[in-house]
Amino acid sequence: MDLGQPLRSGSFDSPGDDDEDSNVAKRWYHYIPVSLAVVFLLAPQPSILYVLLHYHLLVLQSTVFFSTHLLMTYTLTFLAFCSLIACISRDPGPVPDPKQSEENDNGGEMSLTEALMGPPPEDEDYTKPGKWCRVCWAPKPERSHHCSQCGRCVLKMDHHCIWMANKCIGHRTYPSFIHFLGSATFLALYVAAVNIQALTFAFRNPLSIDELTPVHELFLSFYCLVFAIVIGPFFVYHLYLVSTNQTTVESLSPFLLLRQLPPISPENLTRKFSDPPAEHELSYQQRRLVKDAGNTMHLYDLGWRKNWAQVFGPVRVPCRVWLARILWGGSSPGDGMKFPRNPKSDDMLARLATELIKADRQD
Average pLDDT per 10 consecutive residues for the chain, totaling 363 residues:
38 36 71 96 96 94 95 97 96 78 49 42 48 81 90 93 95 97 98 96 91 95 97 97 96 91 77 80 90 92 96 94 95 92 93 89 75
CA dihedral 147, 152, 157, 161 (to 10 degrees): -60
The closest alpha carbon to 328, from 3, 161, 79, 89, belongs to: 79
CA torsion sign for 323, 324, 328, 332 is negative
First to last CA, the chain: 55
On whether the CB atoms of residues 52 and 61 are closer than 8 A, the answer is no
> How many residues are given for the chain?
363
pLDDT at 111: 45
Distance CA 181, CA 175 (A): 10
Q: Which residues contact 52 (CB under 8 A, 6 or more apart)?
A: 66, 69, 70, 73
Q: Which residues contact 360 (CB under 8 A, 6 or more apart)?
A: 269, 270, 271, 283, 286
Q: What's the predicted TM-score (pTM) here?
A: 0.84
Helix (H) or strand (E) holding 169: strand 167-169
- Domain layout of the chain by residue ranges: 28-94+170-244, 250-362
pLDDT at 164: 94
pLDDT at 361: 80
Q: Which residues contact 338 (CB under 8 A, 6 or more apart)?
A: 141, 142
Q: Which residues contact 130 (CB under 8 A, 6 or more apart)?
A: 139, 140, 141, 142
Q: Within 13 A of 209's CA, how many CA atoms are on the CB side?
A: 27
Distance CA 214, CA 271 (A): 70
Question: Which DSSP symbol is given to 66?
Answer: H
Question: Which DSSP symbol is given to 55?
Answer: I
Catalytically active residues are 161
Q: Find the DSSP H helices in the chain.
A: 32-42, 45-51, 63-89, 98-106, 112-115, 174-204, 212-244, 248-252, 284-296, 304-312, 319-328, 345-362
pLDDT at 81: 97
pLDDT at 276: 78
pLDDT at 113: 40
Distance CA 292, CA 352 (A): 10
